[in-house]
Structure 1
Amino acid sequence: MDAESRFQTLASLYVSFSPSQCVVYKNEILICGYKRICSYPNSAKINGHYVVKLLNTNNANGITLLSFGGLQKNKHTLRMHYVSAWDEEDEAENGGTKYFNQWLPFSNLPIFIGKKFDNYAGMRALIGGSNKNLLFITYPPKQIDVFDLNKVQYINESILAIGKNSIQYHCFVAKTEHGIPMMNKKNEMILIGNEIGLSIEYDEDSNNFQFWELRVYITLRPFNSYACVCVNDSIYFFGGHTDYDGGTSISNAVYKYSIQENEWLKFEHTLPTPLFGCIAISSEDCTFVHILGGTDGMKGMATHMRTKLDMWTKKTTVERQWIIKEEEKKRIEETKFEIAGIEHDLQMEKLTVEFFYFYFLF
């Protein structure tokens, strides 16, 4: 079985893009940032923006989208109630398109999510909270904010526990259990990218974050700008990009992280071509993952591929061998970490003894 056999090439997009934002609605994929249905206002600069679906209880015939971000002083905060552009009955029931399928101000007041000089290029965001009113925003260099969409204000501005590292074009998803996001009073999230792996918990009652280090597959660590999607309690990673001394590397690799088992798998089968800046999104029934756009490092791509998830369930012989090798590397890392901890403790004991001796003499 070759790479192409796992990825079905669909009709090309009418325009190439990298990066952009996509959301799924029933059997439709909405690419936010292009004109077919509607345009962004001229004042909105969509580089560095993000789009999320909001909880919509008022109308079962559509979804409400929030678009926010942009670069420094050109930030925007807009909403759209989308009804299917393919379904004339839905459009008629909603009174035409006067207040639908167009970007409008988030509220009657001038509201902007994102402070003037925040760097939102390559940021990621999630909706959570017990009332699905909390917007979690992660952005360079190492920030995580919580914006209350009901109160229309920031309620938490924190720093990620990542030392001297920084984040950008990373993976930021909600943990899931049995396909259900764990985003209620206790909001559980995962952040991966730029040599970083974090398990994050936010307590809505105490308004506090906790962070735990999450081990990442060794050969994935240097990369970011991959397409990633969380489906069936696993996170899939496609492609990616990294800079190193003297060059750039673009990946065609595919990885999976199983959330409940805390296990990594690198697949033997790969993308048909190396890509980064592409988008991965699952179908509403979680049968397929669609991969759209991106770049091969030379030009933007207008490609649209999809892959069936059940084709990635059975491990090959090579993949089983890689699992064994990765477990060996994991044990070596753990041993080095334990030795470093012991050496640190011994050094502290030595300093304590020397201090006591010096104090005793004088």
Structure 2
Amino acid sequence: MIKRYAALVFAVLLLASCASSPAQGKAPAWTLTTPPPDGTYTYFVGYSADPSGDAAKAAEGATANLLSSIMNYIGVKITVDSSATARASYDSYQAEIVQTVRTQSTNRLAGFMVKDRYQVKEKSGRVTVYILASYVTKDLEAEKTRIQRLFQEQIDAVAVPERKGQSFESEGRYFEAVQSYIEAAVAASGADIDNADIKLERNVNNARRVLQRLRFVAAGPAPTAGLGRPFSGPFSARLVYGENDSGPGIPGAEAYVTYQVRQASGRLTGKTERIVSDSRGAFSFTPPPPNFVGKAKLVMRINLDSSLDLLDKFPAKFEAFRAALETELRGRSIEFEYTVVSIAKDVATGIALADLDEKGAAI
């Protein structure tokens, strides 16, 4: 009798235990398959499990997974080379999503809200949390466009000057073309974009190709000069574009001309002036009468300082490209050698003899 009573009590307790822990309902369909976009909303699902049964940890993981799904849709990648503006906007946007999920706010981020949550606990104690969020498609696309535009600026930093270089080159504006190609190469050298190394090398080669076709052609021999006397004529050269001396001249180009003068100390030094080519691309310069005797040289060099200044922006790992460009930029020059002769042989001289008395008077 006692045994039967004990068995009956155990059965009642077992039934009571089952009644106090009702079986979980069937999991919603969205936990298995993310709902497709409808006419108004785009849906995202995040989920995560914690083996120890910590629901809070599982919820944090599900939030992170949901955020990852949304950012994959946005389709940008943050890197150490991304601009400060892009990084700040990207981080702020992610923070807004996380806070909206945690607080279940409906007005923190336009068009975004948490629609449902589902939690399941297995017999092993493992807890899995699912989060369903909806995003008004119009608002989502607006955010996607805004953020991608910020990151597009990094890509455009290479593409835009490269296109400008191509346009300038086709218009015969070769100096602007060189500078634009170098700007594109510099941008590629510090960017984390697809095929950055290829774009860097391509633009360096574009700049070098244009530079190698910029050539000085002497328009005549160097003039002659004597000490303190004017030169017999100007030093003349044409700046042409092409592979032979008959290429088209480049008008309005600026060049430096450096010639030698003697200082008060007796040392020779270089003096530099700026000159501009005429409508035929011709440079003409006559130095002041020389104040020394001997061999000398005069150098004309294209003013490419603005492009040279850009070379300092190349990272050290691209030193070979930087050095190659510098060689080409500084090599756009022509040198004239000449000799300043003494005029002593041309000065009439004579000898006069006279006898003087003791007082110095002529006899």
TM-score grouping bracket, smaller chain normalisation: under 0.3
**TM-score, normalised with respect to structure 2:** 0.20
Give the strand-richer structure, 1 or 2: 1
Q: Which gives a bigger RCO, structure 1 or 2 (Cα 8 Å, sep 6+)? A: 1
> Which structure would you say has the larger Rg?
2
Give the helix-richer structure, 1 or 2: 2
**TM-score, normalised with respect to structure 1:** 0.20
